[in-house]
Amino acid sequence: MGILRNKRRREEREPADSRYGSPSPARAPYDTPSPTAAVELRGVRRRYGRGTGAVHALRGIDLSLPRGSFTAVMGPSGSGKSTFLQCAAGLDLPTEGSVRLGGTEITGMNENQLTELRRSRLGFVFQAFNLLPSLTVEQNVLLPTRLAGGGSARQGRAHAAELLARVGLEGKGHRRPTELSGGQQQRVAIARALVTRPDVIFADEPTGALDTTTAGEVLDLLRSAVDALGATVVMVTHDPVAATHADQVLFLADGLIADRLPRTDATTIAARMRTLATRPALAGAAA
Ligand SMILES: Nc1ncnc2c1ncn2[C@@H]1O[C@H](COP(=O)(O)OP(=O)(O)OP(=O)(O)O)[C@@H](O)[C@H]1O
Ligand SMILES: [Mg+2]
C-alpha cells in the first residue's frame, strides 16, 4: 500500500483544544493505558499534505480499548472517523504517535508485517461490502484463510459452513454475491471478517447501505462477535441507533476525541451529536 511508504514527519504540537471544557487532570475513562488493551493509541496525529494547505485529520488521539469491548465512533462528516479507523487498523500510517494492537506496536512495522497482522488478527467490514463478485459466497468467506495458506480444503468448507450458519446464511455458500440482498452480502462480509477468529474487527459504516431491519441484524452479529467470541469491535457510524449496540460511544470533532458516553439510548446519543455538529469551527483549525 503506497500510503504506508510515506515517510513519517514530525510537526509542531498544536495548542490544546479548550472548546469542550478545561482539560481534566484525571485521565478520561477511555484513556487508561493498559498493556492488555486490544487497541491502544498514544498521541496519534495524521496530517494530509503540507504547509498552508495541510489538513490535520487527527490532532492527538489517546485511547485504550479493552479486549472484548464494542466501541462506536461518531462525529460530524470530516471529523476524522475514517482516518482514525484506518490508522488504528494499520491501513494507514499516522504522521506521529503510536498504535498498539494486542500490545504489539504496529507503527514501525513494514508492509509485509502489517499485511500478515491484518490477515491473522484483524477483521474488516466496510459500507460497500467489498465482496469479490467472481467468487462464490463460500470462497469469499474463506479468502483471508486462503491468502494465509491455512488449513485443508475440507476443514475450510466446514468452517465456512459454520460461519454462514452463524450469520443466518446456511446453504448459501455456492451462490454468487450478486444473487444476495445487501443485508445478506454484509453478513457474508461479517462471516469473512470472522474467519480468522480475529482479535479486533474494524467496521466503517457497516450498516450505512442497509435498511433498518437488516442493519439491526448486522449489528446483532457484531454484538455477538463480542459477547460470544470475545472479539473487540470498533465501529464508525452516523446512526445513533446503531451506536446503541456498543458498550461506549466516542465522539470525534476536528480530529480530537470530544466526548464519550457509556452505552445509552439513541435519543441521548443523537442529542450529543447535535451539540457537536453545531459547535463553531475553531479558528485556525484546518478543516
Ligand atoms: N487522502 C486524503 N487526502 C487529503 N485529505 C484527506 C484525505 N482523507 C481524508 N482527508 C481529510 O481529512 C479529514 C478527515 O476525513 P475522514 O475521512 O477521516 O472523515 P470522516 O469523519 O470519516 O467523515 P465522513 O463522516 O464524511 O466519512 C477531512 O477534512 C478530509 O477531507
Ligand atoms: Mg468516513
- 208-261 confidence digits (pLDDT tens): 888 888 889 889 999 999 999 999 999 999 999 999 999 999 999 999 999 999
Task: Identify the residue whose C-alpha is closest to ligand 1 atom 29.
Answer: 78
DSSP assignment string, 140-187: HHHHHHHHHT-S-HHHHHHHHHHHHHHTT-TT-TTS-GGGS-HHHHHH
Q: Rounded to the nearest whole angstrom, what is the distance from the C-alpha of residue 113 to the centroid of ligand 1?
A: 26
Name the residue of 79, 92, 239 whose CB sits within 8 Å of the most ligand 1 atoms, as the mutation to test its pocket. Answer: 79
Place of cell 437488516: 214
The amino acid that residue 274 corresponds to is R
Per-residue confidence (pLDDT) for residue 6, from 0 to 100:
39
Res. 181: pLDDT tops 50: yes
CA 87 to CA 165: how far, in whole Å? 32
Burial class for 272, CB neighbours closer than 10 Å (0-12, 13-18, 19+): buried
Question: Taking the mean position of all CA atoms in its chain, how far away is CA 192?
Answer: 15
CA 254 to CA 276: how far, in whole Å? 10
Res. 39: pLDDT tops 60: yes
Q: Rounded to the nearest whole angstrom, what is the distance from the C-alpha of residue 12 to the centroid of ligand 1?
A: 21
- 78-133 confidence digits (pLDDT tens): 999 999 999 999 999 999 999 999 999 998 899 999 988 988 899 999 888 889 99
Per-residue confidence (pLDDT) for residue 128, from 0 to 100:
86
- What are 56's strand-pairing partners? 47
Per-residue confidence (pLDDT) for residue 148, from 0 to 100:
63
Q: Rounded to the nearest whole angstrom, what is the distance from the C-alpha of residue 205 to the centroid of ligand 1?
A: 14
Q: Rounded to the nearest 5°, which phi and psi values hold at 96?
A: -155, 150
β-pairing, 39-48 vs 55-65, is antiparallel
Name the residue of 45, 81, 204 whose CB sits within 8 Å of the most ligand 1 atoms, as the mutation to test its pocket. Answer: 81
Which CATH superfamily does the domain covering 35-277 fall into? P-loop containing nucleotide triphosphate hydrolases (3.40.50.300)
Q: Which residues line ligand 1 (CB under 6 A)?
A: 48, 55, 57, 75, 77-83, 287
Q: Rounded to the nearest whole angstrom, what is the distance from the C-alpha of residue 99 to the centroid of ligand 1?
A: 19
Per-chain mean pLDDT for the chain: 85
* C-alpha cell at position 79: 471529523
